[in-house]
Structure 1
Amino acid sequence: MGKAPRRNSSRWLPRLAPGLAALLAYRRGDLPGDLVAGVSVAAVALPVGIAYAQLAGFSPVVGLYASILPLLVYALFGTSRQLIVGPDAATCALIASALVPLAGGDSERYLSLSVALAGLTGVFCILASFIRLGALADFLSKPILVGFLNGISLHILAGQLGKLAAVPVTAPGVVPATLQLLEQYADYHWPTLLVGLTAFAVLLLSPRLLPRLPAALLALVVAAALVAVFGLDQRGVAVIGAVPAGLPELKLPDVPWHQVDELVAAALGLALVSFSSMMLTARSFAAKNHYEIDADREFAALGAANLAAALTQSFAISGADSRTAMSDAAGGRTQLAGVIAALSIAAVLLFLSEPLRFVPIAALAAVLIIASLSLLDVRSLVLLLRFSRIEFAFAMLATLGVVWVGAIKAILVVLILSLIRFVMLSSRPRVDVLGKVAGISGFHHLANHPEATTWPGLLLLRFNAPLVFFNANYFKQQVERAVERAGDGLHWLVLDAMPITQMDVTGYFAVEELRATLRRKGIQLAVAGRYQEIMAWRKAHALDNDDTLYFPTMRKAVKAFLERQAGGEAGQG
């Protein structure tokens, strides 16, 4: 009797909380690696959390709150063993773009809107998991996501330039912002600029000189030490100030209901972009370490983590590629690394918050600029230009969308670009004229194999897509053009049905119109492949018999044609 609940939990627990199930079956041999990885992640997450809170317009402590409970919750509900969640540069840029116009300069309203936005994002992610929208991770193509993140990178870079020298920079875009910064050189606050440049030097040199130490943490420690030792905060160098000690208070968000409708679009965009970005990271490390992740459960885990962010009065979070890479490099192999990282950050808030007050804003700007440059993926752009100019153009359009209309509105731009790209690929698929290649099984495209064997009077075609409403007319046009090119001696047209995985009513009528056109020209239409499916479909829809010939395979269709041709010639003889 007493063991029954354990057997039942063994069935439902992995489905409800995959991470918790993995932790309950933890292997002690993984502990040393997870312990080192957790502390290493915390060392990176501390400065990054503070810097990203600054980027999003919050008190530094809010960035640390966003790095504790959300990380613990994801460790319980996520299917990735190594993914670290928390403040993310792209997500924070989107939050600021969405909330600044709504808050009207009121910091309390800004935080309230942020909490509501995180809660809505979490709810939408969980709803998406219930209706199995994990496939949305594949909707934003790699080129469009690269272009979007490149745009976010430039957006962050432009926003941080003025903080290095403590001068206001209001010009939009990287180039105008840089020019404005150069024009104001007489107004530079030189101690602030010196601190910022020192932080830059540490960020650039420490990976080479001290590769085992987290560069961002070291840069902030050096900059804070300069401020504390030389009293630079008394000489006009802006610092983050006192950071309240203690853990965040757990409470339900105070939702500004009259503005919820204005947050819905931003929450939907955040859910899509943060999930797509998170899945790229999670899948990369899952492939590297030879395990599988569940996209729908990842959606739910991201949603639960964002609800946890709302409960701790912080902001929306996502997967963090740099911290995940740190965990993997330090030997992290399970969700326990994330748990240890969260507990380490909590310990800093409880016992070591006092030194944080000396961290200068210019050093945070340096960290954010380096982080923004890490988002800038020039290598992928070069590869896209080499492999596909169309994909390169889509990436550049996504980047221009962020620069031109802003980060939040650019989400709509990238969605439209994704839809256009999908329609382009699906509505204009390649139509192959096939032949038989000696020594290779099957039938192959003549453009790739000009030596392939063809037969007079026979045309073999392959339409490489489902046949539905948005490509049915294109299908008919392409087949009719192929028939015209074949000339007057054509007797049979054989259509390979294997790539046609789906056909709607519009596609069916396109085939019927094609059949009627071919009949008038004295050409026999034959369909090869998916024989049982086609017969069952026709029977289910009570379709009358027509003069179309159906064959299980292309090989049998060609054999039937050749036998009929041989029989006809024998009869004439």
Structure 2
Amino acid sequence: MNWITRFLPGLPTFLHYQRADFRFDCVAGLSVAAVALPVGIAYAEIAGVPAVYGIYSAFIPLLIYAFFGSSRQLIVGPDAATCLMVASALAPLASGNPQRYMELMISITLITGVFNIIFGLCRFGFMANFLSHPILVGYLNGVALIVLVGQLPKLFGYKAEAGDFFGKLLEFSQKIDTIHLPTLILGIVAIILLFALKRWASQLPAALIVAVLSIITVEVFQLHAHGVAVLGTVPSGFPTLHLPSFDPERFKILVQHAASIALISFTSGVLTAKSFASRNRYSIDANQEMIAFGACNIVSGLMQGFPVTGADSRTAVNSAMGGRTRLAGIIAAGAMILFLLFFTSPLASLPNAALAAIIIVSSIGLFDFPSLRELYAASRRELSFSLVTTAAVLYFDVLPAVFFAILLTLLWMLLAASRPHDAVLGRVPGISGYHNIKDFPNAVTFPGLLLYRFDSSILFFNVEYFKERILKEIAASPTPLEWVVVDAAPINAIDITALHHLRDLIEELNGRGITLRFARVKQSLWTFFSSSWVASQFQLKKRVRYNTLTSAVEAFKQRKQENNSE
């Protein structure tokens, strides 16, 4: 049983379900369905597939995640970023062939799921931290802008021809005089109503209300007869199992795109899961979340859905409406199944402008203004990284920008690690230990001795900075130095390149009559230092290191007294 629950952490919820939770889960599940249904239809538009596939993707993964996921509140489903990535990947490969597009969509969903499961089984859950928060904010902000601009033709009622972001903006400026006024009015009213409901009646399913009112408006005023484009017939019935045809020519390209989708969808999804788990005082397993997302995507693909992730807005609805267990997701899925079986006919009159309004409002919500303000106040460098990532998404498109974002994250990490914090240490009267003399102007240093702390491992990309800083502090010393003692407590590792540079530094300091010593060296690092090759390279003596800074200072004082007595 323990083995089963390890891979199906949701199973105990249903085996030991508390009846007192049912009322809360039922209300939350129905509320989630009311939001997820119109949003799923809208996101199918972004993904480039008929509306019914958005419904499939909205409810099928919920049934799977309830058993595989580690979060009690998370609602999985389509989101703007993954849908846009799918469309960006498949449109060039399908060459305008709808049947081929559907085959490719199922294939990329299955491959994404396989990636998720492999990463989860290999315990790659740390990948959730691989994209820094500013970089992820910048990426999703770029996605939000692309999605918003992509809906302008449906909102204004003109035919879209341009493909890229800037081309769509130019096309909008050129076709502004060809707008279809009834379509625009309907779309603007829908946007205003969506914002009003979110502002003054946030507990109501705004997207569902707008969709229903739009359908009624179209039918009452016969707007489809006046040029207002509508969704058209949505087939009813449960989806059937479908295995895609294998296309070896496109398989390699699909694998590359699926890896990007897996990374972005997992990163954003697990952040949502962690956020709501923290609010409800429990923890999630990132590796299990990867496996859960993989299972959701594989089943979604087999049932003709597209890739999914943790949906923050629908999860927020679940939490706000009091959802306590995974049963809320199953209830939401059940409600959508009933709709799909018996109530799809009214969707034929759903205006495209209303769907555009739902997507536009969602994309505005996706654009993270608060984080940009936070970055502006806290770190202009991190703000610049975020803005550059947004620009890359807009210029290169969403899929190439994934690799740009990863490269930018690595660059940011290297920049931070190549110039770590350091300090010259001294004794502070009334405070035990040794502290940064810049933080304590009254700190006392020792003539002839430099106590130096480097707050990082010493590796190939920062060893030159380490040498530079020590030599600069030696030059700035008010008295001639005899010893330099490095506080090695923050140093976790030293690579071979750094060892060669350290050897050169020791030789240079010896030539100046300065001795280099280490204090508080970690045992694992000292074991490496003590190996025969390293010891011979450094000509290590027994008293190269000291267990504490105090013992190093005392050894220096004793050595100085011995020299003076001579």
2:204 pairs with 1:207: no
Distance 1:298 1:441 in 2: 46
Residue matched to 1:277: 268
Structure 1 residues 415, 351: CA separation in 2 closer, same or farther (over 3 Å shift)?
same
CA contact (8 A) 1:161 1:178 kept: no
**Any conservation in 2 of the 1:202–1:218 contact (CA below 8 Å)?**
no
Q: Does 1:495 align with 2:495?
A: no
SS of the residue corresponding to residue 58 of structure 2 reads: coil
| In 1, Cα distance between equivalents of 2:12 and 2:280 | 19
Query: Which stretch shifts more, 486-495 or 211-220?
Result: 486-495
User: Who is 1:118 aligned against?
Assistant: 109
Query: 1:509 matched to which residue of 2?
Result: 500
Aligned residue among 549, 554, 563 for 2:549: 554
Distance in 2, matches of 1:41 and 1:55, equals 21
Q: Is the 8 A contact 1:154 1:372 kept in 2?
A: yes
How many residue pairs get aligned? The number is 562
Q: Secondary structure at the match of 1:67?
A: helix
Structure 1 residues 27 and 496 mapped into 2: Cα distance closer, same or farther (>3 Å)?
Answer: farther
User: Deviation at 1:279?
Assistant: 1.7
Q: 1:531, 1:328 → 2: CA distance? A: 46
Aligned with 2:172: secondary structure? Answer: helix
1:53 and 1:139 map into 2 onto residues whose CA distance is: 28
Report what 1:184 is aligned to: 175
Aligned-residue Cα RMSD (Å) equals 2.0
Distance in 2 between residues matched to 1:305 and 1:449, nearest whole Å = 56
Structure 1 contact 240–360 (Cα < 8 Å) conserved: yes
The residue that corresponds to 1:56 in the other structure is 47
Aligned counterpart for 1:396 among listed residues 364, 375, 387: 387
For the residue of structure 2 that corresponds to 1:442, the secondary structure is strand
Equivalent residue, structure 1, for 2:429: 438
8 Å CA contact retained: 2:517, 2:544 = yes
Which residue in the other structure is 2:347 paired with?
356
Gaps of 5+ in 2: none
Structure 1 partner of 2:404: 413
| Structure 1 residue aligned with 2:335 | 344
The answer as to whether partners of 2:164 and 2:397 remain within 8 angstroms in 1 is no
Tell me, yes or no, if the aligned pair for 2:165 and 2:395 is still in contact at 8 Å. no
Task: Tell me the CA shift for residue 181 of structure 1.
Answer: 3.3
- The answer to whether 1:302 aligns with 2:293 is yes
Which of 241-250 and 188-197 deviates more? Answer: 188-197
Query: Secondary structure at 1:333's aligned position in 2?
Result: coil
For 1:492 and 1:321, locate their aligned partners in 2 and report how far apart those are by CA, in whole Å: 57
Which amino acid is the alignment partner of residue 272 of structure 1? Answer: L
Match of 2:517 in 1: 526
Contact 1:152/1:402 (8 A) holds in 2 = yes
Distance 2:19 2:531 in 1: 58
Relative to 1, partners in 2 of residues 1:46 and 1:441: Cα closer, same or farther, differing over 3 Å?
farther
Match of 2:528 in 1: 537
Aligned residues with identical type, % of pairs: 43
Secondary structure of 2:10 counterpart: helix
Structure 2 Cα separation of the partners of residues 228 and 282 of structure 1: 40
Partner of 2:440: 449
Between the aligned partners of 1:424 and 1:29, the Cα distance in structure 2 is 53
Aligned AA for 2:387? Answer: M
Residues 101-500 of structure 1 mapped to structure 2, 5 A cutoff:
101-170=92-161, 177=168, 180-181=171-172, 183-486=174-477, 489-500=480-491
Q: Which amino acid aligns with 1:556?
A: S
Contact preservation (8 Å) 1:120, 1:264: yes
- Secondary structure (helix, strand or coil) at the match of 1:79 reads coil
Match of 1:527, SS state, is strand
Identify the residue that residue 4 of structure 1 maps to in structure 2.
none
Q: Tell me how far apart the structure 1 counterparts of residues 240 and 524 of structure 2 sit (CA, whole Å).
A: 59
Q: Tell me, in whole angstroms, the C-alpha distance in 2 between the residues paired with 1:192 and 1:563.
A: 88
Deviates more, 1:499-508 or 1:327-336: 499-508
Deviation, 1:239, is: 1.2
The one-letter code of the counterpart of 1:549 is V
Q: Relative to structure 1, is the Cα distance of residues 122 and 441 closer, same or farther in structure 2, using a 3 angstrom cutoff?
A: farther
| Deviation sequence 1:205-257 (CA, Å, 0-9, x none) | 22344332111111111101111222222332211111111111123333333
Offset of residue 427 of structure 1 = 1.9
Closer, same or farther in 2 for the Cα pair 1:348/1:292, shift >3 Å?
same
CA contact (8 A) 2:521 2:545 kept: no
Q: Could you say what secondary structure the match of 2:435 adopts?
A: strand
Moved more, 363-372 or 492-501: 492-501
Runs of at least 5 residues in structure 1 that lack an aligned partner in the other structure:
1-8
- The structure-2 alpha-carbon separation of the partners of 1:564 and 1:99, relative to structure 1 and needing over 3 Å to count, comes to same
271-280 or 247-256, larger mean C-alpha shift? 247-256
Q: What displacement does 1:175 show?
A: 7.3
More displaced stretch, 56-65 vs 439-448: 439-448
Report the TM-score, using the length of structure 1 for normalisation.
0.94
